[in-house]
């Protein structure tokens, strides 16, 4: 059966910063919830960008058996939706409603279905009633929720989220965790927040300096204090019992 994500010997470098990802090989099955953990600058965001073909490197990436290449970008992005690290890059329409409806409008859906998906996605992230607000006037936490809604409204098979817990207060973070737990989709979450990762993901992939350092059960990896500390991370409170 097709893997959700199948990465073979993938390497990438930005023109001005040398190797950022070096020879990454891993796969993720449909339905898995995986945390990509690692310190600042490890390459987490870059890896997620590669999955949605915002960047291209060497080696091979298959998303649900489709080769991640610029040629297939449209197809790939109908299967995988990415919540970017910076919500301002995701919100560009005059109103919140338009931003969340943008994806569904490009999916050949009926008007009624577009409105339904948009309304539901906004409700899910707790932003109902704010439909007419310009996204750039939202608070940081509300922008984060809005960016997540722009992806939920498309209901892609695979969802990547880059530090989705940033700027969220504890209640919003708990709501997001509950929401993400309830989704059947494959979830790939990049985060430096080990408590958030521990509460959500059964599997963790630790990357540092662009390489996979460890990949396995989240509890096993995250309770290895020497491993975690040597990569600038901490053992989450949830696992210290």
Question: Candidates 15-23, 45-53, 118-126, 134-142 — which segment interacts with Mg ion by CB under 5 A?
Answer: 45-53
Question: Candidates 43-51, 117-125, 165-173, 178-186 — which segment interacts with Mg ion by CB under 5 A?
Answer: 43-51
Q: Least distance to Mg ion from the beta carbon of 30, Å? A: 25
Nearer to Mg ion, 34 or 100 (CB): 34
Number of amino acids touching Mg ion (CB under 5 A): 3
Subset of residues 172 to 201 that bind Mg ion, contact rule: CB under 5 A: none
Nearer to ligand ATP, 154 or 198 (CB): 198
- Distance (Å, rounded) from C-alpha 20 to C-alpha 35? 19
Query: Can you give the binding site for ligand ATP, defined by CB under 6 A?
Result: 14, 16-17, 20, 38, 40-46, 85, 192
Nearer to ligand ATP, 205 or 218 (CB): 205
Query: What residue 17 binds from ligand ATP, Mg ion, none (CB within 5 to 8 A, per partner kind)?
Result: ligand ATP
Considering the rule CB under 5 A, would residue 45 count as an interface residue with Mg ion? yes
Nearer to Mg ion, 14 or 132 (CB): 14
Subset of residues 78 to 137 that bind Mg ion, contact rule: CB under 5 A: 85
């Amino acid at each position: 059966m097709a893997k959700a994500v199948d990465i073979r010997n993938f390497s990438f470098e930005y023109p001005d910063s040398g190797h950022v990802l070096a020879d990454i090989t891993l796969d993720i099955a449909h339905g898995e919830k995986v945390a990509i953990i690692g310190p600042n600058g490890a390459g987490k965001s870059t890896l997620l960008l590669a999955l949605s073909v915002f960047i291209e490197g060497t080696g091979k990436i298959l998303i649900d058996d489709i080769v991640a290449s610029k040629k297939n970008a449209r197809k790939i992005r109908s299967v995988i939706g990415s919540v970017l690290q910076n919500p301002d890059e995701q919100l560009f329409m005059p109103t919140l409603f338009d931003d969340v409806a943008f994806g569904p409008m490009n999916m050949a859906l009926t008007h009624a279905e577009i409105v339904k998906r948009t309304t539901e996605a906004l409700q899910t992230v707790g932003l109902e009633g704010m439909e007419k607000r310009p996204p750039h006037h939202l608070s940081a936490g509300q922008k984060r929720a809005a960016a997540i809604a722009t992806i939920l409204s498309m209901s892609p098979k695979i969802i990547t989220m880059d530090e989705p817990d940033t700027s969220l207060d504890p209640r919003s973070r708990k709501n997001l965790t509950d929401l993400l737990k309830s989704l059947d989709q494959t979830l790939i979450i990049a985060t430096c927040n080990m408590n958030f990762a521990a509460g959500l993901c059964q599997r963790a992939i630790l990357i540092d300096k662009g390489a996979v350092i460890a990949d396995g059960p989240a509890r096993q990896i995250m309770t290895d204090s020497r491993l975690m500390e040597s990569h600038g991370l901490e053992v989450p409170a949830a696992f210290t019992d």
